[in-house]
Amino acid sequence: MLSRFLTKPPLWIDYALTLPVFLAYHVGVVFLGGIRNATDLVTPWFLSLTSSSLLLYFGLVLFSFLAFTLGFAVAAKSEKSLVLDRGKYLQVVVEGAVYALLLRTIASLFVRTLFGAGILKPSSGIFADIILSLGAGFYEEVAFRVVLFGLGAKFLLSRMARGKTRTKDNTVRFAWSRLFVAFAWAVVVSLVFSAIHYVGPYGDKFELTSFTFRFVLGLLLTQVYAARGFGVVVWTHALYDLFIVFHL
């Protein structure tokens, strides 16, 4: 039981666990009057394909959801030990809620210790805040944790390993070097993650306090992604934002 909980699932299961977040966000985002998550490149594409017809748009979203669900269901048959069931969804939601509360506590404590004050999250209205929380959970984790950190770190570490001859003397040193490079890249990605919140017409007004808070949050989310995978970090991020919305 414990090993099943601790084992990181294959990538297809990770993505399947985030489908409810994907669906809810895309159903709601078209009612926000053009407001969307800055890293969401799919909604404009869907609207373009459907000529902004809501009926066709919802049909395309539903088709995408069903196509992914069917694909994941077929893939599940070859993963007997990690069959996707309601218990797995419950696990990632509960994990995400626990991590979200921990991340909020740690980041807030860090910022309060450093600046002597917390941060206030600007509101776009309760419905918009809920939908944008889901969009941030899904698309920001795809952009920053999967693509920028995951693929970026893989590229950097593969470059480090190229032409290296492993010996007993340098194995430990090489391992520490890899760890340092991965952490340094996580810092860079977290800086970009924080900075993106101040870009564009719907970006927040820059404040060092909120920038630092988001930077620390980005580092912590990277740790969740590295340790527990994409599904858990999406729910962690989405639930974290929802807890802020509802002042929990």
Report which of 92, 101, 100 is spatially closest to residue 4, judged by C-alpha positions: 92
Least confident interval from 5-9, 78-82, 94-98, 121-125: 78-82
Using a 10 angstrom Cβ sphere, with 0-12 exposed, 13-18 middle and 19 or more buried, the burial of residue 171 is exposed
**Contact between 44 and 64 (Cβ < 8 Å):** no
Task: Give me the pLDDT at residue 76, please.
Answer: 60
Task: Give me the pLDDT at residue 17, please.
Answer: 86
**Cα dihedral sign, 117-120-121-122:** negative
- H helices of the chain, in order, are 2-6, 11-16, 19-28, 42-49, 54-76, 86-115, 126-135, 152-161, 171-195, 208-228, 230-245
Cβ neighbours, 10 Å, residue 31: 11
**Residue appearing with tokens 């509802």:** 246
Task: Give me the pLDDT at residue 81, please.
Answer: 46
* Of 55 and 109, more confident: 55
Which pLDDT tens digit goes with each residue over 5-59?
666 777 777 788 898 999 999 999 999 888 888 889 899 999 999 988 899 999 9
pTM, rounded to two decimals: 0.87
Distance of CA 220 to CAs 3, 36, 216, Å?
23, 24, 6
Report which of 89, 107, 88 is spatially closest to residue 240, judged by C-alpha positions: 107
Which pLDDT tens digit goes with each residue over 136-191?
999 999 999 999 998 988 888 787 766 565 555 566 676 777 888 889 999 999 99
What DSSP string describes 54-66?
Answer: HHHHHHHHHHHHH
Confidence of residue 88 (pLDDT cuts 50, 70, 90): confident
Which sequence spans correspond to the domains of the chain?
2-245
Angle (CA) 157 158 164, round 5°: 95
**Contact between 2 and 218 (Cβ < 8 Å):** no
Average pLDDT over residues 98-110: 89
* Of 222 and 209, more confident: 222
